[in-house]
Amino acid sequence: MLRAAIDRVLARPLFLCGFRPFFLFGAWFAVLAMGLWLAFLAGALPLPAMPGGPFVWHVHELVFGFALAAVVGFLLTAVPEFTSSTDFEPPLTLALLVAWLAARLAVAASGWIGIVPAAVAQLSLLGILVVRVAPRVWRDPARLHTGFLWALVALWLISAGFYFDTWRGEPAMRWLYAAIGALMALIVLAMSRISMRIVNEGLDALRAAGRDVGDEYRALPPRRNLAVATIALHTLVEWLAPGEAVTGWLALAAAAALLDVLGDWHRGRVLLDRWVAMLYTVYALMALGYATMGMALLFDLGSVSGGRHLLAAGALSLAIYVSMSIAGRVHTGRKLDMRGWLPLGAVCIVAGAFIRAAAALGGPHAQSLLFAAALVWLAGFASWAAHFQRVLAGAREDGRAGCAGLAGEHPTVRP
């Protein structure tokens, strides 16, 4: 009977590809988590009684709940595509989804049952994913995608450290800051793959219109690797020596490396393309976030918290939003959505990040700014979840199976 019920669940279009349930559940969870945060700020509801307090719950669930769901969905789809291997099987997707949901419930109840059940569920989720991703990226002769594996391993270790310190009753926020750093490095790795297709299709459209835009765009490995290395070094040193001057200098180095990556993007009018502009803004927010953190530590200009929110509420959230918008259409057999709601949602996310950074400066309006930032950010993801509900939970329109992309020999993602 149980087997028959599982088979019926897996037969639904939601489990045609690994990204579908994780993108959809993750987006709605972001709306729920931020809605609870808004209610907490308004004094209407208490947050779940997680060890460490409400701020730890807020960061943990947006990083290890919402953001991790997007990472899992991305890797379940991208790793088979990048390594030219078969799709991950639906039972694996279901098992990972159950672990993710169990972790969310266990975290919500951790004030009563302790942190161990949440740790078991979360570490199982990441551990299973590491075990299943590792052979595929390692068997690839060129081993071009091992960075994804190391990022996953880093997230597992960071998660383990967080739960161990929480279990001991020690402050554990530094682990969540380290997780944000690991996710920044993962964004650089993932965006280099996504951006080449998006930017080059934009350049092709300009060429077709008779404009001289030069050669095709390439995400150069030396610049990308330097950015990843400086982000990783900053993350490690901040964990070891938070607030020290060396951490500020490394934050500025990370900002400079990210701006260097953006140098490859400056190809004229292609930056006005909505998809290119959104991806470009991710890197710009990352650079600004690290620069703000560095300036705050070294010269007492701005706020470290403000810079960190430019990274998390801004760069990370926008990267997830854009990646889900691209993969959520292309791998369900659809062209990109060119309607106005989508860039408006991106504007909401960016605006929310800047408002939150302003709130970190304090002042008489700080509480109002906190509330406004959460509300605007929530609106962006609520709009996304509502528009993609039928896309992700429904059948493919092109009749193809699984995670297959658009049909045709050289399909374009734009209508």
CATH number at residue 336: 1.20.210.10
Residue 297: what pLDDT?
97
pLDDT at 143: 82
| CA quadruple 33, 35, 37, 40: dihedral sign | negative
pLDDT, one tens digit per residue, over 86-141 is 999 999 999 999 999 999 999 999 999 999 999 999 999 999 999 999 999 998 88
Stretch 244-267: mean pLDDT: 95
- On whether residue 413 sits in a domain, the answer given is no
- pLDDT, residue 232, reads 98
Residues 77, 127: Cα–Cα separation, whole Å: 18
Query: What does the alpha-carbon distance between residue 228 and residue 192 come to, in Å, rounded to a whole number?
Result: 12
Residue 378 sits at φ, ψ, to 5 deg, of -60, -40
Q: Structurally, how many domains does the chain consist of?
A: 1
Q: How confident is the model at residue 62 (pLDDT cuts 50, 70, 90)?
A: very high
Does residue 210 lie within any of the structural domains?
Answer: no
In 3D, which of 77, 60, 67 has the Cα closest to residue 19? 77
d(CA 278, CA 91): 34
Residue 202 is encoded by which pair of tokens? 């934009």
Domain-embedded: residue 415? no
- The pLDDT of residue 373: 98
Q: Is the predicted pLDDT of residue 252 greater than 80, yes or no?
A: yes
Inside any domain, residue 399: no
- For the cut 90, the answer to whether the pLDDT of residue 4 exceeds it is no
Segment 324-350, tens digit of pLDDT: 999 999 999 999 999 999 999 999 999
Q: How far apart are CA 414 and CA 408, in angstroms?
A: 14
Count the Cβ atoms, other than its own, within 10 Å of residue 396. 17
**Structure-model confidence comparison of residues 67 and 2, the more confident one:** 67
pLDDT given at position 140 = 82
Answer yes or no: is 398 within a domain.
no
In a domain, 208, yes or no: no
Domain that includes residue 284, residue range: 2-202+217-393
Average pLDDT for 58-66: 98
Is the Cα dihedral 305, 65, 183, 52 positive or negative? positive
**pTM of the complete model:** 0.97
Assess whether pLDDT exceeds 80 at residue 289.
yes
Say whether pLDDT at 217 is over 90. Answer: no
For residue 159, being part of any structural domain is answered with: yes
Segment 349-363 shows an average pLDDT of: 97
Q: What is the reported pLDDT for 163? A: 98
- Domain-located, residue 362: yes
- Higher-confidence position of 230 and 192: 230
* Averaged pLDDT of the chain: 94
Cβ-contact 349, 321 below 8 angstroms: yes
